[in-house]
Amino acid sequence: RWVRPGDIVLLHDPQTLGLAAHLRRAGVTTIWRSHIGVDHANEWTAQAWEFLRPLAEPCGAYVFSRAQYVPPFLAGAPVTVIAPSIDPFSPKNQDLAPAAVARILRTMGLTAATGADGDADGGTGVFTRADGSPGRVRERAAVVGEGPPLDHEAPLVVQVSRWDHLKDMVGVLAGFAAHVAGRHGAQLALVGPAVHDVSDDPEGAAVLGECVVAWEGLAPSLRRHIRLVTLPMEDTDENAAMVNALQRHAAVVVQKSLAEGFGLTVAEGMWKARPVLASAVGGIVDQVAPDTGVLLPDPTDLDAYGAALEGLLADATGAAALGERARRHVRDNFLGDRHLLQYAELLERVLAPGPG
C-alpha cells in the first residue's frame, strides 16, 4: 500500500535485494545501495557475487560506497559511487565547548575534576539531542581495572570501535604499551559499547575479554596509562555525546583496523580537527587525503604504528595543523550536503524520461 507504480525504492545492502524482482513487476524502480564489496577476490567472493547477481539485475540503478566495491558483473550498468557522510549537527559530531567535554568525561568517570570544566557544582555535560531537545550525560562508563581517573591535562590516545577482531584493539594496546607508554605523559583509552551478556554478543564479549587479558598481562607501570572503557548503549544520543567528547579530547584518534568497510570513525575524528592515525585499508584510504592524516600501510606492523603515534605526540604543533587540514577535508567531502546533492542528481537521472 505504501509503494505505488512509478515510485523509486532504495534497497540497502544484500539483505533486501530479493525484493527487486517483485518491485519491478509492480512497476517500481529500485536502486540498490551497497556498503559492502570485496577487498581481495577469490573463489568464495566470486560465488557470493554469482549468488547476488540475478537478484541485483532487476534494479534500475546501483550505488556503492567505494568504486573498488563495484562487482565485475555491473560493468556498464548505471552505477554511482556515493561515499557515506557524517552529520555535523548530530550528538556524535556537534560542537562541544572544552568545558562541556571536560564535564562529560568527568561524569563518565574517566577523568578527575579539573579547573578546565569551571564549575564546582558537579554539573553534567550538556548537549543537543537528535530531536533538538537538550540532553545531559548522566551515566558512567565502565572502566576496566582499578586505578585513579585519567589526567585531563595529559595527551589521550583514543580508539572507538565495536569489540571486533578486525578493529585490532589488542594491537592498539600492545603497540602503545611497547612504544609509547611512559613517554609524553600519554594515556590510551580503548572505547567500545557495553557488552552485557556473552549470549547477546559472543564475539564482542570474547574480544573485550582478550583485551582485558592483554591489559592484565602488562607491568603495572604500563597498565596505569591504559584504560578499557565500555559505554552504556541504552540512550543512543547520550552514547554519541560520550563518543563525541572522547574524540574531541583526544590528542590522537587511532583506527588501526585490519580490514574496514568504510570506517566512519576516521571522518568523525578528522571533523573534530584531530590528527588521525589509521590503517590504509577499506574506505579509510578514501577518507584520508595526503597531509590530512597518517596512514599505516601495514596495520599489523606494531613498530611502525608505535613510531607514527610517537611522532604525532612529539610534535603537537604539526599534529594540530594536520587536524585543521583534516577538518577542512571532511567539511568539503564527507558532510551530508555533498551526500544529499549526489542523491538528488541520481534521482534526477533515474526519473529522466528515457530515449523514445
Tell me which residues touch ligand UDP (CB under 6 A).
Answer: 92, 160-162, 192-193, 231, 239-240, 243, 261-265, 268
Residue 240 or 326: the one with the smaller Cβ distance to ligand UDP is: 240
Least Å distance, CB 281 to ligand UDP, is 12
Residue 62 or 262: the one with the smaller Cβ distance to ligand UDP is: 262
Element (H or E) spanning 91, and its range?
A: none
Least Å distance, CB 255 to ligand UDP, is 7
Least Å distance, CB 185 to ligand UDP, is 25
Report which DSSP code applies to 115: G
* Number of alpha carbons in the 13 Å side-chain half-sphere of residue 8: 16
Least Å distance, CB 193 to ligand UDP, is 4
Contact 86, 268 (CB under 8 A): yes
The alpha helices in 26-156, defined as continuous H runs, are: 43-56, 98-108
Least Å distance, CB 258 to ligand UDP, is 12
Least Å distance, CB 151 to ligand UDP, is 23
Residue 303 and residue 271: Cα distance in Å, rounded? Answer: 27
Helix, strand, coil abundance in the chain, percent, nearest 5: 40, 15, 40
Q: Which residues contact 272 (CB under 8 A, 6 or more apart)?
A: 93, 244, 247, 248, 250, 253, 323, 327
Residue 152 or 272: the one with the smaller Cβ distance to ligand UDP is: 272
Residue 135 or 261: the one with the smaller Cβ distance to ligand UDP is: 261
**How many C-beta neighbours within 10 Å does residue 245 have?**
25
Contact 82, 100 (CB under 8 A): no
Contact 334, 288 (CB under 8 A): no
Element (H or E) spanning 70, and its range?
A: none
Residue 239 or 292: the one with the smaller Cβ distance to ligand UDP is: 239
Phi, psi (deg, nearest 5) at residue 329: -65, -40
Say which residue the cell 606494531 belongs to: 302
Residue 29 or 271: the one with the smaller Cβ distance to ligand UDP is: 271
Least Å distance, CB 278 to ligand UDP, is 10
Residue 137 or 181: the one with the smaller Cβ distance to ligand UDP is: 137
Question: Would you mind telling me the total number of residues written for the chain in this entry?
Answer: 356
Residue 251 or 267: the one with the smaller Cβ distance to ligand UDP is: 267
Least Å distance, CB 267 to ligand UDP, is 9
Single out the residue of 114, 118, 211, 125 nearest to residue 154, CA to CA. Answer: 114
Residue 247 and residue 93: Cα distance in Å, rounded? Answer: 9
